[in-house]
Amino acid sequence: MTLQMQAPQPKQLQLLKVLGPAHIWALGVGIVLVGEFMGWNYAVGKGGAIGALIACWVIGLLYTCVAMIDSEITSTVAAAGGQYTQAKHMIGPLMAFNVGLYLVLAYTMLEAGDVQVAGQLIQIGAGNLGYNIPWQPFTVLSLVLLAYMNYRGVLATLTVNLVITAAAFASIIILVIGTQPWHPGAVLLHKELLTGLPYGWIGVLASLHFGIWYYLGIEGTCQAAEEVRSPGRALPMGTMLGIITLLIAAALTWYVCCGLLPWEYLGWDNELAPLYDAAHVTGSPTLTVILFVGTLFSAIASANGCINDAARAWFSMGRDRYLPIWFGAVHPGYRTPFRSIIFLMPVAIIFALFIPLAQVITFSILSGLLNYTFMPINMVKFRRMWPLGSIQRGFEHPFHPFPSIVLFTLCSITFFAVYLGYGRQLLAMMAFYIAASCWFAFYRYRYVKRGDQFTMPWPRPAGY
């Protein structure tokens, strides 16, 4: 009898575990904070200033539910891919494939909008100095530089995000202080500018569409789950502190902008940066410069975080063979998903250069909404399959299942709001996801190793 020696299996490279709660906060808030500097004001165009405030509160409740659900599940399913990995464990491969696509498209479209804004801001800044320059080269250059930084390592990437996100948030606080809110009527003119609901309650409903821009992307904290040192502590802490920061920033943004600018101007389609314009109206050169820098920092931080998150989702799908396994490679030196970062870069450049900002935002919002609609189903299944006490959780959100019910209800209402203004885009995107699902079910699924799908060391789920 001959003993056959088995060759040792090569050790698979893993992503580095180097992040803490501050990096998670920087990732979540960094992606979202740009929404306070631009985009939310389209909600004013739909429903007026009061309508945008109602949208801020209603959508704030939606995202509070998202943050609570995400904090519980992700602190337990700590893997790159976030909601994609959750769907893989709780629902099944087809749902996981779709959720992965929602994530990639939501972040890539958001990234395209961010760098488009960054390029246009540089053009505006140069114009104020007397130079007429095109915005497109700066858009491409900023995206390439950010992609290179992501390629080189996650710790440096999110440390930079921490610094520039904190600076952008501080610029909002400085603007609010500069408008002397303790002296109503001195600078802020809410009494004169708040004129009720110009389009009635149907306008308020329509404003929910762009109210999402106040908070879109906070769920991206999940994408770093595999790279944090202590997922059970860092992910809930970073995510919940992030949504609290954003709720404060959204309220302050609405308060200062709607006290300085008439709703007809704020809701104008070509209005790019309402906080920057509000600083202009104060007549203070210092505030104008601070808000210009804050707006630019917020766009760069958001694009930076989106590159990080889109690449993690694409990488996870490649590692599990939902996509070619070539995308699941980890860089041997920098330990980053480098192929996914490079592959998605030209996609973002094309959308940034050739698609208008409002449509890019809408593509991102629709993909995000589809993701949020899946989360209540996922949460209910998670609690049924592994009830409290059956596995260790880093965070247990209270009042289950009410956050799931509220989230599902608000997502359904917001879909209708999107349909009112962008029905064609909504139907086109649904058709795309149906076609992609058919491709996965009838072609790609044969490559998926079904035995490798379940990766968590959990007991057999209840009822199975």
Sequence length of the chain is 464
**For the segment 319-375, what is each residue's pLDDT rounded down to a tens digit?**
999 999 999 999 999 999 999 999 999 999 999 999 888 788 888 888 999 999 999
As a whole number of angstroms, the distance between CA 370 and CA 376 comes to 11
How far apart are alpha carbons 142 and 349 in whole angstroms?
10
Coil/strand/helix, residue 228 = strand
pTM here is 0.92
Whole-angstrom Cα distance, residue 155 to residue 148? 13
> Can you list the alpha helix ranges (DSSP code H) found in 182-321?
190-193, 200-211, 231-258, 263-266, 274-282, 285-319
Give the list of residues 6+ apart from residue 261 with CB closer than 8 angstroms, or none. 193, 274, 277, 278, 281
CB 217 within 8 A of CB 305: yes
Tally Cβ neighbours within 10 Å of residue 385: 17
Query: What does the alpha-carbon distance between residue 102 and residue 108 come to, in Å, rounded to a whole number?
Result: 10
Cα separation, 430 vs 74, whole angstroms: 27
Residues near 313 by beta carbon (within 8 Å), at least 6 away in sequence: 80, 81, 82, 84, 100, 103, 104, 107, 223
Give phi and psi for 298, each to the nearest 5: -65, -40
Angstrom distance (rounded) from CA 168 to CA 117 = 15
- 35 conformational bin, left if phi > 0, alpha if psi -120 to 50, beta if neither: alpha
CB contact burial 322-336 (16+ within 10 A = b; e otherwise)? bbeeebbbbbeeebb
- Alpha carbon distance 327, 318 (integer Å): 5
Task: Show the tokens assigned to 298.
Answer: 């917020």
Query: How much is the pLDDT for 2?
Result: 42
Q: For residue 16, how many other CB atoms are within 10 A of its CB?
A: 16
Strand pairing partners for 391? 388
> How far is residue 221's CA from residue 242's CA, in Å, rounded to a whole number?
9
Q: Which tokens belong to 195?
A: 């004129």
* CA 197/CA 249 separation, integer angstroms: 23
Instruction: Please tell me the predicted confidence (pLDDT) of residue 8.
Output: 52
The residues with which 364 forms a beta bridge, in sequence order, are none
Residue 324 main-chain phi, psi, to 5 deg: -50, 135
Kindly calculate the radius of gyration of the chain based on its CA atoms and give it in whole angstroms.
Answer: 22
The pLDDT, as a whole number, for residue 118 is: 92
Q: What three-state secondary structure class fits 391?
A: strand
Report residue 269: phi and psi, to 5°.
-60, -35
Alpha carbons 378 and 92: distance in angstroms, whole number: 10
Domains within the chain, CATH numbers bracketed? 21-391+400-446 (1.20.1740.10)
Return all residues near 461 (Cβ < 8 A) that are at least 6 apart.
Answer: 385, 386
Other beta carbons within 10 Å of 182: 7
Strand partners, 228: 19
CA distances, 407 to each of 204, 275, 361, 370 (Å): 18, 29, 21, 12
The Cα–Cα gap between 45 and 269 comes to 8
User: Which residues of the chain register pLDDT less than 50?
Assistant: 1-5
Q: 76 near 392, Cβ under 8 Å?
A: yes
- Cα–Cα distance for residue pair 32/220, rounded to 1 Å: 9
